[in-house]
Structure 1
């Protein structure tokens, strides 16, 4: 887990951790949200973290749909 991450969620595929982190930073940048350098999200507004999480979920669903469609 990343420093400061207190989530009890565990990845089914631990090797995907790096790709998910990269996706988090890409989405945040696209939304114009600065991610704290120390990795601690506790001082961020809930709306910002929710926006990041929502966009990540949307992208992951799109990726899964494309994979299921054989693209």
Structure 2
């Protein structure tokens, strides 16, 4: 994990692919291009924040649905 660019550690490793998919979906909805090389250093903070905020909003929505017993 030392070579990994992201210092956040997932509690459930199997969630990595789902989170990556959410990231790309959120970026696409917002009209933001994700760098193909995976380096985010050239992106403006506003765009990365918008992507992160969109992902968080979706995760909260999913959790609320699960707590309410809806699929």
TM-score, normalised by the number of residues in structure 2 = 0.91
Tell me what 1:10 maps to: 9
Hey, which bits of structure 1, 4+ residues long, moved more than 3 A? none
Tell me what 1:24 maps to: 23
1-side partners of 2:52 and 2:36: how far apart? 18
CA RMSD of aligned residues (A): 1.5
TM-score, normalised by the number of residues in structure 1 = 0.91
Residues 22-49 of structure 1: per-residue CA shift (max 9 Å, x gap): 1100000000000011011010000000
Q: CA deviation at 1:7?
A: 2.5
Tell me what 1:36 maps to: 35
| Number of residue equivalences | 69
Unaligned runs of 5+ in 2: none
Unaligned runs of 5+ in 1: none
Tell me what 1:64 maps to: 63
